[in-house]
Amino acid sequence: MKINTRKKEDLDLLIKCINNNDCESLIKKYYNFIEQVIIKTCYKKNISIVYDDVEDLRNQTFYELFKDDYRRLKSFDPSRNVKFSSWIRLITANTVFDYLAKKDPHNLSKVGNLVSLDDVFKDLSFENYENRLDARQTIFLLKQCIKNITKAERIVFKLLIFSNLEPKKIAAYLQISTREVYKKKSRALKKIKNCLIKLGILEK
């Protein structure tokens, strides 16, 4: 009964925000929640972050939810078996990932296990690669290749590789089929693989 009540409360807040342009209650409810998700996401990745950055990321998360006439909020489908809080958590995590992608590559040494190169290259179906560049340069070039794929493919790739989420969970969060998740993963890996070959990071 509590779960149903919570779902109804979230749906009411969602409708109120979208239809009446009144999002104060929704912001108030998820204000601290989003902050905690930001801090936990950074902590899990061994990333040091100052509170000013946390505030900026929280504001950016709300911006992502509200921009373009609430386009992102309108995409939430309450009929799917995904809690609104879990969906908000995903949006927040993606905002953090985008923030990290824009960090100065010279500061990446401070980012613990943001990218496991061995896991990435293994997933790209290459067992061996020539370590011609130092780790920071390699990560920087990898991120440049990731920028060449579509936004949808990039989200799926990040969640699969960086967050180790199962395809079924990603499908539920993004409200797409599991088959579509695998398609996006396959297209993303192919594009990234070709890009890394062109850059000389990988060999055919």
Domain end point (choices 61, 83, 102): 102
For 27-70, the pLDDT digits (tens) are 999 998 998 888 888 777 767 666 678 888 998 999 999 999 99
pLDDT at 105: 46
Do 199 and 134 belong together in one domain? yes
pLDDT at 78: 84
Do 161 and 77 belong together in one domain? no
Do 8 and 73 belong together in one domain? yes
Q: Six-digit token pair at 70?
A: 């609430």
48-52, 87-91, 96-100, 146-150: range with highest mean pLDDT:
87-91
Instruction: Indicate which CATH number applies to the domain containing 72.
Output: 1.10.1740.10
Domain end point (choices 86, 102, 118): 102
Short-list 174, 165, 190, 163, CA closest to 72 = 174
pLDDT at 137: 64
Do 83 and 133 belong together in one domain? no
Short-list 196, 203, 197, 204, CA closest to 142 = 196
Range of the domain at 90: 1-102
CA 29 – CA 93 distance, rounded (Å): 18
Structural domain tally of the chain? 2
CA 44 – CA 68 distance, rounded (Å): 31
